[in-house]
Structure 1
Amino acid sequence: MSHGAPAPGLNTGVTLPPLEAGPHQRRLDLIAIVATFGGLLFGYDTGVINGALEPMKADLGLNTVTEGLVTATLLLGAALGAVVGGRMNDAIGRKKTLTIVAVLFFVGTLGGVFAPNLMVMLPARVILGFAVGAASVTVPVYLAELAPTERRGTLSGRNELAIVVGQMLAFIINAIIANLWGHHEGVWRYMLAVAAVPAAALFVGMLRMPESPRWLISQGRHDDALDVLREVRSENRAKAEMAEVEQLAQEEAESNVGGWSDLAVPWIARIVMIGCALAAAQQLTGINSIMYYGTELLKDAGFSASAAIIANIANGVLAVAGSALCLFVMIDRMRRRDLIIRGFIATTTVHGLIVITALLMPASTSRAWVILVLCVTFVFFMQLALNVPVWVCLSELFPLRLRGFGMGLSIMVMWLVNAALTFAFPSIVAFAGLAGIFGLFFVVGLIAIAFLWKFLPNTSGRSLEQLEESFASGNFS
């Protein structure tokens, strides 16, 4: 949908005027920049372990099991943060939740930096993970609810771009610190400490940002909601959106949508099932295994330790390139459903090629380079057609009063699957090698393609209110 096209309502009787240029557009862009510091922290804190793990293992005396624990405890904290963060979104609002999250990012970072042993490191990683999980469920919802229909994909997708930028920065900073101060004891602490800077920026920035107008309406604060919409829309567009959201909020209040009991409603149960399955499928591509263990993976492929940490930067660069191309070229020009299914087809194909390479090519420099090229190709396709669209789709699927709950439940599933896979990854690679782990990803990819082809609805091109009415009427096309 173009920026100048009106967005007709379904049964709301409201037609939205086209977007107009002005200061409100710049205000919306500023809000997106500040909020996506949460995504940047998400990316940095999950990516920094990639290079910090090797010196940390020597410093803290980690073995294969405790290595998996240090990485996976952050993800378990993230699963808890996603559920609690989703409920916090509904209870206290998106803005206050993000402000609290910024404090937790800062506390968790300092806990890891100064941890003297594993018994202190693990709780610090859980706190940091809680912040990551709460941010992962709050930022996309906050941006989706502030964005106009015509720009929702681009604005909501900026969070995923921020995540991969954060991961790329982690890889680059790790490589710089390792080469400059790698001989220093506790060099991994320097790598972790960098995250304190964007955590402080998120806290200060969110103090000056508005609350989500849709959440304000759900709390009966209609005048406050209109004031926020006037900050980020033209006057006539703000009033038209208010009328649409108010009508739907009234319908939702009458049907008492909002929690576990509503899973008894068939259409709600269906979209929650779809959201959880989509979140799990995204993780089972193995994207985060490469982002967390990429350096170790490249060493197994045949690179030296020093070459692997530098070569791993390619994963970060291709992730950013794919996300940027998706965000600024594809996300609002292709149907969300089509983009996601094609993304799974592409990544599953690359998994199959990695399995063939690992089985047929003998260990050599050539094999290492082929696997590196295939890995970065996988990362590129993942970011081009899956990560941004999946996060945007999850932020669009759920009805207003269920959005925090539904998003939180889906992201909890995402983090639990991520944690299980991350914990098991070193052991699976040690037992079955590259062919075994990527063979697993290949089989799961085929299952995901079949499921999504049958069940995944398209969420692009319609307002959040239109989507809700469509799903409630049984139309999941």
Structure 2
Amino acid sequence: MHTLTENPKLTRLAVMVGIAAATVGIIYGYDSSNIGGALIYLTQDFHLDAAGQGLVTTTVVVGEILGALFGGALSNRVGRKPTMVAVAATFTIFSLLSGIAPTLEFLIVARFLLGLTIGVSVVVVPVFVAESAPTRSRGAFLVLYQVATVTGIILGYLVAMALASTESWRWMLGLAAVPGVVITILLLRLPDTARWYIMKGRTAEARRTLSLIEGGAVDIEAELETITAGFATAHTSRWTDLLRGPFLRATLFVVGLGFFVQITGINAIVYYSPSIFDAMGSSDHIVQLGLSALVQVAGLVAVFIALAVIDRMGRRPVLLIGIGVMILANALLVAVFAIGGGEFSGALTVFGFIGLMLFTAGFTFGFGSLVWVYAGEAMPAHLRALGATVMLTADLVANVIVGAIFPSLLEATGGAWTFAIFGVMAVLAFGFVSWLAPETKGRPLEDIGQFWQNGGSWTPKN
């Protein structure tokens, strides 16, 4: 990065990019949690058993997998911004269709289509933000996506709690259209990324966008030359490049990280917190939803801390600390369920609540924040969108597994065994991150390919 000033202020457009693009996470988070409240009443209306609850919950994630598979290629073809606008607009439509679903089959189709739009968004947004944000603030801009996601999760629970007295799952699902409309309007005001413009040979638009984003922080012409050179040496973006040296190691990292993010169990808590609190002895639906929202408030506090330290501490320390907290939280939850058995006293319920808060805080501080950072940073320019695609597809596959089996697993084995399994996954994740995760703090995006070309090191090997 060709810096001209040491501590330049962020430009107005840079701030708009960070806020408007990242807030797409609100619709992702809202959809993740509002189904938890809606399930209470869906179960009654459609006479669902545990397997049926898993089907309704994971249908959207199956759609997300398919959306993620073509999200990167779509954004390469038509642009990052048009893709995100289409995501927000279609999310609005499919949320309304979910709310008016006359039958279970109609609801499942609507949620599948909803998942397609979300799947595209989780691939494209990190790429858009990484390619637009100033290098000095890129980590914080990417963590904003997780801030928005957790905010959406909390909003989903609060809306469900407010509507609990009406028992209206239709309003719970349909109101997701409101943030969809707002975000569509915000995104329409943004330009596409300078790197996408250069990839398409639109240098004048790239120059204008860089000037508006960076202000006087960089030498614009030198930056354009650096970005252009990065694409010129990369030649093409082929899926087979992900499976060949020197980027096979990078592919292993992004696929493994994406899988561990979800297989460690966070969405079991997001989707099924009311059911977990029911297993802990809390039978009042409003209390279940309120406690679920409080758990996510702890996560929001943790992600704000990550936002403050990500560009100072670095990526690896933040990620490892977060996973370590998840391991401790799992140990506490295993103990609570093992001691409580089928009978929970007030004290055990409090410790269980603390365990869920610690688990969520550890996740949002580490995995929740860093998955978006690495989705935007882990790959060189020509493979960035494809790398984000395979990372977040692996994430969503694990999400389907957890979402589908958790209700039956909790019912069949109890909380102690369930959280013991998640704890083992977290320990494996800690070892995986220690082995492969690169430290990308302060590195220009155009330099990241060198890390993998050097065999996983910033220093060339002789």
Q: Structure 2-normalised TM-score?
A: 0.95
Specify the alignment match of 2:4 in structure 1: 17
Distance 1:297 1:237 in 2: 54
Q: CA contact under 8 A between 1:283 and 1:414: conserved in structure 2? A: yes
> How far apart are residue 21 of structure 1 and its match?
4.5
1:410 matches 2:354: no
- The SS at the match of 1:331 is helix
Note the C-alpha offset of 1:360: 2.1
For 1:48, what is the secondary structure of its paired residue? helix
Is 2:72 aligned against 1:86? yes
Matched, 1:200 2:187: no
RMSD (Å), alpha carbons: 1.6
Q: Does 1:284 align with 2:271?
A: no
State the distance in 1 between where 2:298 and 2:246 align: 38
Match of 1:340 among 294, 306, 319: 319
* Alpha-carbon shift at residue 241 of structure 1 (Å): 2.0
Map 1:41-440 onto structure 2 (within 5 A): 41-179=27-165, 181-182=166-167, 187-235=168-216, 236-253=218-235, 256=236, 258-306=237-285, 307-327=287-307, 329-361=308-340, 363=343, 364-440=345-421
CA positional deviation for 1:318: 1.0
Pairwise CA distance, 1:358? 1.2
Are the counterparts in 2 of residues 157 and 392 from structure 1 also a CA contact under 8 Å? yes
Query: 1:464: how far off?
Result: 0.7
The CA distance in 2 between the partners of 1:396 and 1:372, in whole Å, is: 35
CA distance in 1, matches of 2:75, 2:127: 9
Q: CA deviation digits over 1:34-80, x for unaligned, max 9?
A: 21231110000111111111111112222221211110011111111
CA contact (8 A) 2:11 2:214 kept: yes
Query: Does the Cα contact within 8 Å between 2:254 and 2:391 map onto a contact in 1?
Result: yes
Q: Shift of the alpha carbon at 1:305? A: 2.6
Q: Per the alignment, in what secondary structure is the counterpart of residue 189 of structure 1? A: helix
Residue in 1 aligned with 2:427?
A: 446
1:308 partner amino acid? Q
What is the Cα deviation at residue 20 of structure 1?
A: 6.1
Unaligned runs of 5+ in 1: 1-6, 8-14
More deviation, 311-320/425-434: 311-320
4+ residue segments displaced more than 6 Å: none
Measure how far apart 1:267 and its partner are. Answer: 2.0
Q: Which residue of 2 aligns with 1:32?
A: 18
Q: What is the Cα deviation at residue 278 of structure 1? A: 0.5
Residues 433-454 of structure 1 deviation map (CA, whole Å, 9 limit, x = unaligned): 1011101001111111122212
- Could you tell which deviates more after superposition, 272-281 or 99-108? 99-108
Encode CA deviations 1:201-252: one digit per residue, 9 max, x unaligned.
2222222210011111111111111111111112553333212211211111
Letter in 1 for 2:87: V
Percent of residue pairs bearing the same amino acid type = 29
Q: Which amino acid aligns with 1:68?
A: G
Q: 1:446-465 alignment to 2 at 5 Å?
A: 446-465=427-446
Q: Give structure 2 stretches of 5+ with no counterpart.
A: none
Letter of the aligned partner of 2:288 in structure 1?
A
